Chains A and B, each alone.
Chain A
Amino acid sequence: MVNNDPKAPLLPERDKERNPVLECVGLGIDFGGLTAVDDFNITIGATEICGLIGPNGAGKTTVFNLLTKVYQPTRGSIYLDGKDTKHMNTVRANKAGIARTFQNIRLFKGLTVMENVLIGLHNEMDYRLGGALFRLPNYWKAERIARERALELLSIFDMQDFAEHKSGSLPYGSQRRLEIVRALATNPTLLLLDEPAAGMNPAETDDLMSNIKKIQETFQIAILLIEHDMSLVMGVCEGIAVLNYGKLIAKGTPAEIQNNPKVIEAYLGAGGGDDA
């Protein structure tokens, strides 16, 4: 069942003609003597929604940190839109099209909802300091366009009315949604969501699920998500990769993963498969 051949990706039909947005080849990282991730291979189609699951401590968030260049890999390569990210730092990786949310929310809590989204739009705003100080027309234009764009993005989650609220004062679910909006503002081609449904009730999770699909359809981007809520993973993901002890143990469609004995063993322990 182990499919470690990067040349045999499981892309959705519609992405077969296009280059994959992300390709990891033999990716690995050691922290001292501990191998956190090893021989990680994945290929994600241009508009695919892919899930990354695994028991706690399997290395899922480490993979995200590798993709966003928070960590530099010990082994292997990451190709973003075909470009090797070897010499990129986090800022360059973001500009190259990768954006993420965090497992424990990391909004700029003292800033307003609008300002958080504007931070995401930072590199899109085209004016310099002189323009701002002397209030040149291009400053007003860039600020106006950015604000309109921010409101548009906030409206995906019906959050435009909260634009001037402090982001730290929002309810938990809205903070999670704002993180997604802020990441989308950086205009990514690949959006990484780290446990987007954590702490959400079933109704909110359903909402989130339709919103993830909506984002993928509206922006035509790929989404890679880490999630423990299996109803969400099985509901939206087209492909799923399963990580255990830093190694990929399975890749496939939701149906294949649900019936994969290795996955069941990883989650429930050996011998537990029959009852699951």
Chain B
Amino acid sequence: MFFVSHLVNGLQLGSIYALVALGYTMVYGIIKLLNFAHGDFIMVGGYIALFSLSTTFFGLPPAVAVVLTIVGCMLLAVVVEKLAYRPLRNAPRISVLITAIGVSLLLQNLAQYFFGATPMNFPTHLLIPAGGITMGDVFVAYTPLITIIAALISMVILTYLVQRTKLGKAMRAVSEDTEAAQLMGINVNTIITFTFAVGAGLAGIGALLYGAGYPRIEHTLGVMLGLMAFVAAVVGGIGSIPGAMIGGFAIGLVEALVTALGFSEWRIGAVFLILIIVLMVRPTGIMGRSMMEKV
């Protein structure tokens, strides 16, 4: 029982990491950019969800808040891509990386300016009802249950999108060889915008689930969450979509396991230890392709 509740906690956290890691990995796969602002998209999504749900602000119905959060994150990502990253399309990768860090700091400081530095309480039970179900002698709350289910459904839809639709195929083609894809008539800018939007949509879902599970929204919430998800993406193999899912769940479970063993203050250290081991033993990650030299 003790074990099951920690397993559920690990899967809940892992679902959120996986959703966020997908955004990192998809953007990296397509333009080889580590979008360090991705964690902050979640922070913005958290605030959108909070303001639209909370009765002291807009008090909108949950369905409307969900749509607003997802669409808000997508719009933010598309605008950031257009204004900050697109002008640097042919610039060295380091310039774009530094720009991403700049965007991250900008979003954090804007959030602090507008919403203050005091953490705000997320109205969890306006999104997911309190209570839960009892399976045998194990009680599972609705929040982790819905988090895991929502994350799995999102991943199934994403896999379908990437594997079966022409936009998904074009995405994979662009990530393999951008120039050849262009010469086949694929509009690369459209595909990049689409990738950012999909990644941020998943971040929006992640923001909602994060708020429901850990109801403390502050302007730096994206920093640690983004970092952990980034580790998940690297452990899974950056650029690989199944890798991000596996990495996310793995990191979530490791945190829960270390907490279960009574070393909760070491849980983040344990994650980085795993990162170091993976980078030493298998630098391309669990699902990563081995680097091939271009001739």
CB distance from A172 to the nearest CB of B (A): 13
CB–CB A122/B185 < 8 A: yes
User: Chain B residues near A183 (CB, 8 Å)?
Assistant: 184
A106 interface residue (CB < 8 Å to B): yes
Chain B residues whose CB sits within 8 angstroms of the CB of A120 once the complex forms: 184-185
Q: How far does the alpha carbon of A118 sit from the alpha carbon of B164 in the complex, in Å? A: 11
- Taking the complex as formed, is B22 at the interface, i.e. its CB lies under 8 A from any CB of chain A? no
Interface flag for A203 (CB, 8 Å): no
Q: Indicate if the CB atoms of B169 and A122 lie closer than 8 Å.
A: yes
Any chain B CB within 8 A of the CB of A115? yes
The one of B166, B180, B185 in contact with A106, judged by C-beta atoms closer than 8 angstroms, is B180
Q: If A106-B177, A108-B173 touch, does A118 touch B166 (CB 8 Å cutoff)?
A: yes
Comparing A38-46, A96-104, A265-273, the segment that makes contact with chain B is A96-104
- Closest chain B residue, CB of each to CB of A68: B183
Cβ-based interface call for B94 (8 A)? no
Considering only residues 163-187 of chain B, those with a C-beta below 8 Å from chain A are 164-167, 169-170, 172-173, 176-177, 179-187
Q: Is the CB of A123 within 8 A of B185?
A: yes
Known A-B contacts A106-B177, A111-B176; A94 and B184 likewise in contact (beta carbons under 8 Å) = yes
Q: Does A70 contact B (CB under 8 A)?
A: yes
Apart from A94-B184, A120-B184, what 18 extra A-B contacts exist at CB < 8 Å? A90-B179, A91-B182, A91-B188, A94-B183, A100-B183, A106-B180, A108-B173, A108-B181, A111-B172, A118-B169, A119-B169, A119-B184, A120-B185, A122-B184, A129-B167, A132-B161, A132-B165, A185-B184
12 residue pairs A–B, Cβ–Cβ below 8 Å: A94-B182, A106-B180, A110-B289, A115-B169, A115-B172, A118-B166, A118-B169, A119-B173, A122-B186, A123-B185, A127-B166, A146-B166
Show the binding face of B for A, using Cβ within 8 Å. Answer: 157, 161, 164-167, 169-170, 172-173, 176-177, 179-188, 289, 295
